[in-house]
Amino acid sequence: MTKTLAALVIHGIGRQQPDFANGMIKAVSAHLAAQGSDPQQVAWQPVFWDDILRPAQDAYLQAAYAAADLNARRLRTLVLSALGDAAGYRQLPSGGRRGGEETQTYHRVHARLREAMRSLYRRQLDGRPVPLVVLAHSFGGHILSNYVWDSQHRPDQRLSSFERMNWLCGLVTFGCNIPLFTFACHEVQPITFPPPRLPARFKERARWLNFFDPDDVLGWPLKPINAAYDQVVSLDQRINVGGPVTGWTPASHLAYWTDRRFTRRVADFLLTLL
Which residues of the chain fall short of a pLDDT of 70? 82, 84, 91-102, 244-250
Q: What does residue 236 show for φ and ψ, rounded to 5 degrees?
A: -100, 110
Would the pTM count as exceeding 0.85? yes
Q: How much is the pLDDT for 91?
A: 47
Q: How much is the pLDDT for 128?
A: 96
Handedness of CA 75, 59, 98, 140 (dihedral sign): negative
Q: How much is the pLDDT for 230?
A: 98
Torsion from C-alpha of 143, 146, 149, 150, nearest 10 degrees: -110
- In angstroms, the CA 10 to CA 14 distance is 12
* Domain CATH code at residue 261: 3.40.50.1820
Domain count, the chain: 1
Angle at Cα 35 formed by Cα 30 and Cα 39, nearest 5°?
Answer: 50
SS3 50: helix
Q: Quick one: the chain helix, strand, coil %, rounded to 5?
A: 45, 15, 40
What range does the domain containing 32 cover?
A: 5-273
